[in-house]
Amino acid sequence: MGKVPLSLPSHLLSTTTVSSEERWRRWCLGPQVDAIIGVYYATAYWMPTEKTIQVKNVLDRKGDAYGFYNNSVKTTGWGILEIKAGYGSQSLSNEIIMFAAGFLEGYLTAPHMDDHFTNLYPQLIKKRSMLNKVQDFLTKQDQWTRENIKYYKSDPFWRHADYVMAQMDGLFAGATKRAVLEGKKPMTLFQIQFLNAIGDLLDLIPSLSPTKNSSLKFFKRWDMGHCSALIKVLPGFENIFFAHSSWYTYAAMLRIYKHWDFNIVDKDTSSSRLSFSSYPGFLESLDDFYLLSSGLVLLQTTNSVYNKTLLQHVVPQSLLAWQRVRVASMMANNGKQWAEVFSKYNSGTYNNQYMVLDLKKVNLNHSLDEGTLYIVEQIPTYVEYSEQTAVLRRGYWPSYNIPFHEKVYNWSGYPILVKKLGLDYSYDLASRAKIFRRDQGKVTDMESMKYIMRYNNYKQDPYSKGDPCNTICCREDLNSHSPSPGGCYDTKSTQRELLELGRNQAKLSSAKFYLFEETRACQFFIKKGSVEAHILKISLLLSHFE
Give the closest residue to 276 by CA, choosing from 294, 303, 254, 298. 298
- Position 5 scores a pLDDT of 33
DSSP 425: G
In percent, how much of the chain has pLDDT > 70? 82
- Position 500 scores a pLDDT of 60
Going through 308-418 in order, the beta strands assigned E by DSSP cover 352-358, 362-363, 367-368, 373-379, 382-387, 396-399
**Tens-digit pLDDT profile for residues 267-299:** 999 999 999 999 999 999 999 999 999 999 999
Contact between residue 300 and residue 355 where contact means Cβ atoms under 8 Å apart: yes
Map out the domains of the chain with their CATH numbers: 36-194 (1.10.439.20)
The helix (run of H) or strand (run of E) holding residue 347 is none
- Position 226 scores a pLDDT of 75
User: At residue 439, what is the residue type?
Assistant: D
**Tens-digit pLDDT profile for residues 521-543:** 222 222 222 222 222 222 222 22
- Position 525 scores a pLDDT of 25
Q: In whole numbers, what is the pLDDT of the chain averaged over residues?
A: 86
**Tens-digit pLDDT profile for residues 133-181:** 999 999 999 999 999 999 999 999 999 999 999 999 999 999 999 999 9
Give the closest residue to 286 by CA, choosing from 312, 247, 236. 247
Contact between residue 489 and residue 248 where contact means Cβ atoms under 8 Å apart: yes
**Tens-digit pLDDT profile for residues 52-98:** 999 999 999 999 999 999 999 988 899 999 999 999 999 999 999 99
- Position 38 scores a pLDDT of 79
**Tens-digit pLDDT profile for residues 27-61:** 333 322 333 447 899 999 999 999 999 999 999 99
